[in-house]
């Protein structure tokens, strides 16, 4: 398998405790997609026309509140292909050298950055300086310092910065969060997140330290990390972690193959997580409380997500995650909507702070305290 995206497709046919929101505030797919919409539309250019950029573009064809209007790529043939396929005018097409010119393009409201991790920092800041809102794929950056610089740059430019956390809008995930907020699980004691797959092509950018910034943790493990935070509903206060590497030729220095990490939360809850590029069939969340539990498998794949709690099977409807994500993000940018789980740049930095601590714990063998 050449990438996480291929794998997920095959297996799937936040600050402190999150606020208690009424059910009506949660995502209602029927309301969004069964009723006509005549409000403002977010006009988006996609930067990075690879496999995931293509997936987002396809999903946006069903969006009501977001529209694909532009492209940014370093590959001229891809630009031409997308111009034809998605009816994108030449004036909305850019490359990585000249995309700063979007500043004078009134047809584009936002840019979705879907490029290798190491490129996010500079590209997001350039988009912000051009006066456009930014959506950036996760991880937001290579480390928390870079992420904070991106947040600061977007604030200075008075544009919004969102991160591509599609699971934050997934209905079954939101139902588990609603149940937790309502006390239906009782006091949370434990979370387990297992995320991994056996990665293929050893020459791909995800196994290149300079482009990826790491290995499995930066790619697939962030789902378990982020999931532990939104499932438990707290911010971790300590981290321990261990790395295992069986193939140093494929997973060179600085590219993690498998990392196990543990998190402690203020309430006393703990999390045990696994991130790997060397095992298939890992896409599972488990949340345990005094009164009940939630289990999701697959938990973060492209869907449909499947899950159950002590009260029975989760039956919320499935829709393409990226379609829902883009409509919800359009609402956030254009109408100031507050999502149940944050997707802003600060949320991305929170994950990066924990990720930095995980790598420090691996290196030192120590328990690392988080502020």
223 is catalytic: yes
The one catalytic residue among 52, 94, 165, 223 = 223
Task: Report, in angstroms and rounded to the nearest whole number, the Rg of the chain calculated over CA atoms.
Answer: 20
The span from the CA of 76 to the CA of 36, in Å, is 37
Reply yes or no on whether 277 is catalytic: no
Using CA atoms, how far apart are residues 70 and 48, in angstroms rounded to an integer? 11
Place of tokens 């790598």: 359
Alpha-carbon distance 93 to 99, whole Å? 8
Calpha distance 146→193 (Å, rounded): 26
The Cα–Cα gap between 46 and 215 comes to: 25
Q: Are strands 110-113 and 93-94 parallel, antiparallel or unpaired?
A: unpaired
Is the Cβ–Cβ distance between 104 and 70 less than 8 Å? Answer: no
Is the CB of residue 139 less than 8 Å from the CB of residue 218?
yes
Taking each continuous run of H as one helix and of E as one strand, the counts in the chain are 12, 15
Backbone angles phi, psi at 253, to 5 degrees: -50, 130
Those residues whose C-beta lies under 8 Å from the C-beta of residue 48, and which sit 6 or more positions away, are 72, 73, 113, 114, 115
Q: Give the residue from 330, 328, 353, 359 showing the smallest Cα distance to 254.
A: 359
Q: By the 8 A CB rule, do 236 and 267 touch?
A: no
**Contacts with 323 (C-beta within 8 Å, 6 or more apart), sequence order:** 59, 60, 62, 63
Which of 52, 112, 132, 138 is an active site residue? 138
Longest dimension (CA), the chain: 58
Distances (CA, A) of 275 to 49, 50, 54, 193, 353: 26, 24, 25, 9, 17
Using H for helix, E for strand and C for coil, what is the string for 88-125? Answer: CCHHHEECCCCHHHHHHCCCCCEEEECCCHHHHHHHHH
- Catalytic machinery residues: 138, 223
């Amino acid at each position: 398998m050449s990438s996480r995206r291929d794998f997920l497709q095959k297996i799937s046919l936040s600050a402190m405790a999150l606020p208690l929101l009424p059910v009506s505030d949660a995502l209602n797919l029927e309301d969004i997609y069964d009723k006509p919409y005549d409000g403002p539309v977010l006009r988006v250019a996609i930067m990075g026309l690879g496999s995931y950029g293509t997936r987002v573009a396809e999903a946006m064809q069903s969006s009501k509140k977001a529209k694909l209007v532009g492209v940014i790529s370093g590959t001229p043939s891809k630009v031409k292909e997308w111009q034809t396929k998605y009816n994108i005018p030449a004036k909305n097409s850019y490359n990585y050298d000249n995309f700063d010119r979007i500043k004078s393009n009134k047809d584009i409201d936002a840019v979705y950055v879907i490029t290798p991790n190491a490129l996010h920092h500079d590209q997001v800041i350039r988009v912000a300086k051009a006066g456009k809102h930014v959506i950036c794929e996760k991880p937001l950056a290579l480390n928390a310092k870079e992420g904070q610089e991106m947040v600061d740059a977007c604030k200075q430019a008075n544009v919004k910065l969102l991160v591509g956390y599609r699971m934050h809008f997934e209905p079954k995930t939101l139902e588990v969060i609603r149940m937790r907020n309502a006390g239906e699980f009782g006091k949370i004691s434990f979370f387990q997140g297992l995320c991994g797959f056996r990665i293929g092509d050893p020459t791909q950018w995800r196994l290149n330290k300079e482009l990826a910034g790491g290995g499995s943790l930066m790619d697939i493990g962030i789902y378990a990390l982020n999931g532990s935070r939104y499932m438990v509903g707290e911010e971790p206060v300590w981290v321990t972690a261990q790395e295992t590497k069986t193939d140093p030729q494929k997973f060179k220095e600085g590219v993690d193959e498998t990392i196990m990490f543990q998190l402690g939360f203020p309430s006393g809850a703990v999390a045990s997580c696994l991130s790997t590029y060397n095992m298939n069939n890992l896409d599972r969340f488990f949340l345990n409380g005094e009164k009940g539990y939630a289990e999701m498998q697959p938990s973060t794949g492209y869907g449909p997500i499947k899950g159950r709690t002590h009260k029975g099977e989760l039956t919320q409807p499935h829709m393409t995650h990226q379609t829902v994500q883009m409509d919800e993000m359009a609402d956030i940018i254009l109408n100031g909507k507050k999502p149940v789980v944050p997707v802003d740049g600060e949320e991305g930095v929170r994950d990066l702070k924990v990720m930095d601590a995980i790598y420090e714990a691996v290196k030192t063998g120590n328990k690392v305290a988080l502020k």
